[in-house]
Amino acid sequence: MKKESVIQMMKFTLFSASAGIIQVVSFALFNEFFGWIYWPSYLIALILSIIWNFTLNRQYTFKSAANIPVAMAKLFGFYAVFTPLSTWLGHLAETAGINDYIILAVTMLSNFVLEFLFCKFVIYKNQENTRVIKN
């Protein structure tokens, strides 16, 4: 594995961790403070983390000058599949008595791996390191 790919994975991990913090804190706020059930708490927290993660990873991890609306549309396609599936499976797990935070952790881990692969090989394929840094 090339050094650049390792650094890229490390950056993606760090930015995803920061997005994960946003997701967990907002999920806890909606779930514990407002008393919402799993799926709306998860869905809103996920959307907040997606926006944060997309912004940082496009600029700093993949250093892409890719057309933002096109890149966001591709990411929307990923989440058009991932979100309903993970929300539905999370709801099923919750009704089966599994702890909300265990469900959230498993979902976030699968999201992390799948989103990196999707970004690397679909969204930013042939468009990495194309952003010009302005001084």
Length reported for the chain = 135
Are the CB atoms for 65 and 127 separated by under 8 Å?
yes
Q: Which long-range contacts (CB under 8 A, 24 or more apart) does 94-100 make?
A: 94/37, 94/38, 100/31, 100/38, 100/41
pTM of the model: 0.80
pLDDT of residue 133: 66
Percent of the residues in the chain that have a pLDDT greater than 90, as a whole number:
72
What's the whole-number mean pLDDT along residues 52-57?
93
How confident is the model over 78-101, as pLDDT tens digits?
999 998 999 899 999 999 999 998
> What confidence tier does 132 reach under pLDDT thresholds 50, 70, 90?
confident
Q: Which residues, 6 or more positions from 110, have their beta carbon under 8 angstroms from its beta carbon?
A: 86
- For the chain, the domains span 3-123
Q: Is 132 exposed, middle or buried (0-12, 13-18, 19+ CB in 10 A)?
A: exposed
